[in-house]
Structure 1
Amino acid sequence: MDMRIRPYEPSDIHVVVDLINRCLTRDPMTSETFQRKVLLDPNFDTRGALVALVGEKLVGFALGIVRTYPNEDSAPDFDRSWITLIAVDEPYRRQGIGTALVRELESYFRARECKLTLISPYAPNYFIPGVDVNSYPEALAFFKAMGYEEVYRPLAMDANLVHLITPDWVREKEAALKGKVIFEPYRPELLLSLLQWAKAEFPGDWQRFIRDAVTRITTGEFRPDNVWIAHENGKVVGYCQHDNACRFGPFGVSASERGRGIGAILLFRCLHSMRAKGLHNAWFMWTDDKVAKLYAEAGFIESRRFAVLRKSLQSE
């Protein structure tokens, strides 16, 4: 078989997007999404965007990321790399094309002095947080055969909001906090405190989410109650947000304030805001089994399960 690998070229975009849609059937892609999450990513490098061709036919694509620029104020992770997309056309599978793409990416990662590669929790532009174990079991087996090991299995959840009701226990928590913790939609007086809180409690990508949401509030795309804030004595202790496409989150509470019911109250306030806007469903892509128990109280059920994988690049 006459197969060769080369870097992505601008004229590949529509062929690559079509390939992804044929292969990753649970994760449809548009040209606009590809531009936004791949080509416009500040860390995009064509050395990590590879296509496989048989003759002149493009039959495979793989995307690997190495940071050139830090992710906000996250701990430095320039020695890490991520594989966020891989697709090989069905008639060309099990012929070594996927293996060749991954090996080429690993060589690129080593050339960039990376010590570890992950699949695929890359912030800010991951597509799914790992391999979907139910939708793509062959991909999971493929990566394990290439020496990747499971780190853990996060889950995605979805909820029907049509019959959303705040449980009595959440109302009791809210009553107990009355006069102490204030829960309210975004207002500009809280912005700097919110950003400082996110920097202290959740360094990294959350500040970008907040800036983006507040920018959309200022332009009228979002309403103030797309963002909910909990504060006590002038100090932010928690926040959550949703977008206009039913996506819930991020969502978090100060580590020192957990166990008081603040998170549950924020969760239901935000979900009721979504329902009031006519949104019938809510979803998010990534949580763990412990936090999933709280989400279940609001009607969320597991919709997908992922395997986050890693491989040392120093072992070969």
Structure 2
Amino acid sequence: MLTYRSYEPGDERELVTLWNRCLTKDPVTPTRFRNLVLLDANFDPQGLRVASDETGRVIGCVYAVRRLLPMHGTELEPDNGWIPFFFVAPEHRRQGVASRLMSEAVAFLREQGRKNIFFASYAPNYIVPGIDEKNYQAGYAFLQSQGFARLYSPIAMDYSLVDHDTPVDVEQLKQQRLDEGYSFDTAKDGDLYEVIQFATNVFNPDWGRAIREGVLQGLPLSSILIARDEQGKLVGFCLHGGYEGVKERFGPFGVDPSQQGKGLGKILLYDCLALMRAQGLHGAWFLWTGETTPAGYLYKRAGFSITRSFHVMKLSQPSN
């Protein structure tokens, strides 16, 4: 007889083991599971739904989370909830286990007043942006069967730094902008407040959080590049190593929309890639961008290749 319950202390080891059996393209270590789930300020044990067999062995899991701590200001996104991950042991699939766990996870979020439920665009501690249809076809079909609909499809990209060399035209462009009064430098302590506010307010609160927490966890300021205009106003930034301390993970990265078209993003990108190569890194990668966005086109032109594609899914409140 199967048992369905919420997370209990001591489940971690079995959850990580089963995770790595099921989500083979996205394995985790016990440390990552602890940091991304158990130590998340929004973690609620009631939202981590677990199935176990008659021996007590964990055979499945669906995780539901809602915001308890605002990402920015006082905004708790009271209408929104997220399902960051789910998995069921292969030998127990197609027996209703996932459906039961998902219904419990959705019920948990509905009880908290969440009208919109997303897979899996949760910040700050998302594992992947959405479901990878290519590698988890059954998982994608399952989400659709549960009423989730695709919203959009971000891509992950990788770039080999082994043969990296900054093109001459980029060096010339940078010199042109320098002659116009722009500046490009690594961040100093005095830049941090402005960079974090810029990332948060112009782009995404999660970007500002990533910079702040990255520095607190040891991210060198030399890994953060900034651009200023001729008046000294911050107009762009770029970094690597800001997420989970992974040095080869590129981003976040942004240029003031009013400054786009001047190649500032291209300059920052190539400066950061050169910096990464100088540190002996062999690759740069990131998890999330739009393929047809200006950033997506910039990455392609720089030589990044698409390595994965995801679907962000949404389950809306049933109509009465």
TM-score range, shorter chain: over 0.9
Residue 203 of structure 1 and its aligned partner are, at CA, apart by 4.2
Match of 2:232 in 1: 234
| Structure 2 residues not aligned, in runs of 5+ | none
Match of 2:302 among 298, 301, 304: 298
One-letter amino acid of the structure 2 residue matched with residue 299 of structure 1: G
- Offset from partner CA, 1:253-281 (integer Å, 9 cap, x none): 11111111111110011111100000000
Q: Is the 8 A contact 1:72 1:203 kept in 2?
A: no
Give the TM-score normalised by the residue count of structure 1: 0.94
Q: Is the 8 A contact 2:152 2:311 kept in 1?
A: yes
Match of 1:308 in 2: 312
Give the TM-score normalised by the residue count of structure 2: 0.93
Q: Higher mean Cα deviation, 48-57 or 142-151?
A: 48-57
Match of 2:168 in 1: 168
Match of 2:279 in 1: 277
Moved over 6 A (4+): none
Quote the Cα distance in structure 1 between the aligned partners of 2:113 and 2:201: 30
One-letter amino acid of the structure 2 residue matched with residue 54 of structure 1: D
Match of 1:102 in 2: 102
Quote the Cα distance in structure 1 between the aligned partners of 2:91 and 2:196: 50
SS of 1:81's equivalent?
A: strand
Quote the Cα distance in structure 1 between the aligned partners of 2:200 and 2:92: 46
- Offset from partner CA, 1:141-182 (integer Å, 9 cap, x none): 111011110001100011100111223332332132113211
Residue 78 of structure 1 and its aligned partner are, at CA, apart by 1.9
1:128 correspondence with 2:132: no
Q: Higher mean Cα deviation, 195-204 or 243-252?
A: 195-204
Residue 62 of structure 1 and its aligned partner are, at CA, apart by 1.1
Match of 1:206 in 2: 207
Change (3 A) 1:202 1:75: farther
Q: Output the aligned Cα RMSD.
A: 1.5
Report 1:21-170 matches (<5 A): 21-55=20-54, 56-73=56-73, 76-170=76-170
Residue 139 of structure 1 and its aligned partner are, at CA, apart by 0.4
Q: Is the 8 A contact 1:73 1:203 kept in 2?
A: no
Q: Is the 8 A contact 2:200 2:208 kept in 1?
A: yes
Residue 205 of structure 1 and its aligned partner are, at CA, apart by 1.2
Structure with higher strand content: 1
| Structure 1 residues not aligned, in runs of 5+ | none
Match of 1:245 among 244, 247, 260: 247
Q: Is the 8 A contact 2:199 2:254 kept in 1?
A: no
SS of 1:131's equivalent?
A: coil
SS of 1:14's equivalent?
A: helix
Quote the Cα distance in structure 1 between the aligned partners of 2:11 and 2:144: 29
Match of 1:187 in 2: 188
Identity across the alignment (%): 38
SS of 2:95's equivalent?
A: coil
